[in-house]
Amino acid sequence: MSDFSTPAGWYPDGNGWERRWDGSGWTEERRRMAEPTQVRPATPAPQGPPPAALPTQGPPSGPPPQAAPPQAAPPPVAAPPNYGHVPSGGSFNGSYGNPFSGYQHSAPPKKSKLWLWITLAVVLLLGVGTGVTLAVLKPWDESSSSSKGKDPDGDPDKGAGERAIQGDITGDDKGDALYYLYYDYDNVKKVTATSNGNGFETNEVAVDPYTEPDELYFDWDGDGVNEKLAWKFVSSGKQITLSSNDSDFPGEQTYTASLSSLKEYGDIEVRVVNGDFDGDGDQDLALAGPNDKVVDVSVLVNDGKGNFAAPVLWVSIPNAVIDVTRITPGDFDKDGDTDLWTELPAERLDDEAYAKYYSGDRGYALLTSSGNNFELGAVNKSSIYQEAFLVGDVVGDGTANIVGIETNSYDEELTVSVYDVSSGQLKVVAGFTGKSKIGQRTLQGATLSDVDGDGDADVVFAVKAYKETKFTGIQVMTSTGAVFEEALVWADTPPCDKDTCRIEFPSSRRY
pLDDT digits (tens, 9 = 90+) for 276-288: 999 999 999 999 9
Provide the b/e sequence for 303-316 (b: ≥16 CB within 10 Å). Answer: eeebbbeebeebbe
Q: Is the model's pLDDT at 500 over the cut of 70?
A: yes
Q: What is the pLDDT of residue 34?
A: 58
Percent of the residues in the chain that have a pLDDT greater than 70, as a whole number: 72
- E strand segments, 6-130: 9-14, 17-21, 26-32, 94-95, 104-105
Region 217-235 average pLDDT: 95
Q: What does the pLDDT look like over 372-404, one tens digit per residue?
A: 999 999 999 888 889 999 999 999 988 899 999
Contact 305, 250 (CB under 8 A): yes
**Per mean pLDDT, which of 69-73, 93-97, 184-188 is the most reliable?**
184-188
How much is the pTM? Answer: 0.68
Q: What does the pLDDT look like over 231-262, one tens digit per residue?
A: 999 999 999 999 999 999 999 999 999 999 99
Q: What is the pLDDT of residue 75?
A: 47
Range with the poorest average pLDDT among 5-19, 124-138, 210-224: 124-138
Q: What is the pLDDT of residue 217?
A: 94
Q: What is the pLDDT of residue 312?
A: 98
Q: What is the pLDDT of residue 509?
A: 52
Q: Is the model's pLDDT at 158 over the cut of 90?
A: no
Q: How far is CA 296 from CA 153, 321, 505, in A?
A: 36, 10, 26
Q: What is the pLDDT of residue 73?
A: 45
Q: Count CA atoms closer than 13 A to 465's CA, side-chain side.
A: 11
Contact 272, 287 (CB under 8 A): yes
Q: What is the pLDDT of residue 127?
A: 46
Region 134-143 average pLDDT: 36
Whole-number average pLDDT of the chain? 79
How do beta strands 284-291 and 294-300 pair? antiparallel
Region 479-501 average pLDDT: 94
- Beta-carbon contacts of residue 406 (< 8 Å; ≥ 6 apart): 385, 386, 387, 414, 415, 417, 443
| Separation CA 239–CA 298 (nearest Å) | 13
Q: What is the pLDDT of residue 7?
A: 77
Q: What is the pLDDT of residue 210?
A: 81
| Separation CA 159–CA 454 (nearest Å) | 18
Q: What is the pLDDT of residue 433?
A: 97
Range with the poorest average pLDDT among 131-135, 302-306, 325-329: 131-135
**Per mean pLDDT, which of 72-86, 143-157, 408-422 is the most reliable?**
408-422
- Structure-model confidence comparison of residues 138 and 483, the more confident one: 483
